[in-house]
Amino acid sequence: MYLGITAPVVQVVGYQNSGKTTLIEHLLQNASDHGLKIGTIKHHGHGGKLLLSDESKDTGKHRRAGAVATSIEGEGIYQLTMNSTSFSLEKMIEIYSYLEIDSIIVEGFKNKGYPKVVLIRNKKDIELLEKCSNVKAVISWLSDNCNYSDSTGISYFHISQRRQYIPWIINKLMRGVL
């Protein structure tokens, strides 16, 4: 999966406070236990520029002086910062294709077409299922419609069934079939 070959991508989508980040944390911990190397990409959906903690450091000075890209490496950590009018998800995935990772988990970018796990916290969130394409699994806080697969191949889980949906997702990632 390395050297320019894009790793399988899965999106985790849902509205604010639906459990996306918590789900991804559990997936990353479980993936690590299985020896999988996972990269993540998060959509900063709150608007505004990202806060950078290096503004008073050399890389911040480089950016202010006009560098389009800055990077720094130390003790096994590599950090890259780039100025761009916007980065598409596809461009970010392309950058990740140069990394030694087995899969990419994307938080957000609801309108993209990659395989998705959708989190539903309340009844009004169900409309998200109509807005999203390529839904492979639904993890719901609601008690109905859980623990089965429907005729479209979507698997449904209740949020309390972590012991079922975490291995299900990891197994799909390991096989590259999500």
Please name each of the domains of the chain with its CATH number.
9-49+86-175 (3.40.50.300)
Q: What's the rounded Cα separation, in Å, for the pair 110 and 128?
A: 9
pLDDT, residue 66, reads 82
Q: How buried is residue 73: exposed, middle or buried, by Cβ count under 10 Å (0-12/13-18/19+)?
A: exposed
pLDDT, residue 67, reads 84
The angle formed by the CA atoms of residues 73, 97 and 134, to the nearest 5 degrees, is 130
Contact status, residue 128 vs residue 14, Cβ threshold 8 Å: yes
Q: How buried is residue 143: exposed, middle or buried, by Cβ count under 10 Å (0-12/13-18/19+)?
A: exposed
pLDDT, residue 64, reads 79
pLDDT, residue 147, reads 54
Q: Are strands 135-140 and 116-120 parallel, antiparallel or unpaired?
A: parallel
Q: What's the rounded Cα separation, in Å, for the pair 24 and 170?
A: 11
Amino acid at 123: K
pLDDT, residue 70, reads 85
pLDDT, residue 116, reads 97
pTM of the model: 0.85
Residues with pLDDT less than 70, the chain: 1-5, 45-53, 85, 144-150
